[in-house]
């Protein structure tokens, strides 16, 4: 479900997939919860699941899942330092 465009014209949205049991899974939310994606707060304000993304990341951090096993650098901070 498209939400908006970022400053580069890319679509920001929520992604859903249907599993074998015919239920719909919010894929990007599951990725954040598992520690495999970063919650980008700047674009989540308009997302229906925005608050859930923040909570999912907090839980992943507390449980040291995925990228949170170490001390990751936010992608936007990495890009600033590596121009």
pLDDT at 59: 97
- Please state the pTM of the whole predicted model: 0.80
| pLDDT tens per residue across span 17-54 | 887 777 888 889 999 999 999 998 877 777 888 889 99
pLDDT at 56: 95
Separation between Cα atoms, residue 73 and residue 57, nearest integer Å: 14
Separation between Cα atoms, residue 78 and residue 35, nearest integer Å: 18
Q: pLDDT band at residue 73, thresholds of 50, 70 and 90?
A: very high
Count up the domains in the chain and report the number.
1
- Rounded to 5 degrees, φ, ψ at 19 are -90, 180
């Amino acid at each position: 479900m498209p939400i908006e465009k970022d400053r580069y014209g890319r679509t920001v949205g929520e992604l859903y997939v249907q599993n074998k049991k015919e239920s719909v899974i919010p894929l990007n939310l599951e990725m954040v919860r598992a520690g495999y994606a970063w919650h980008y707060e700047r674009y989540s304000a308009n997302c229906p699941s925005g608050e859930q993304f923040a909570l999912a990341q907090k839980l992943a951090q507390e449980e040291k899942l995925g990228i949170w096993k170490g001390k990751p650098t936010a992608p936007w901070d990495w890009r600033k330092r590596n121009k």
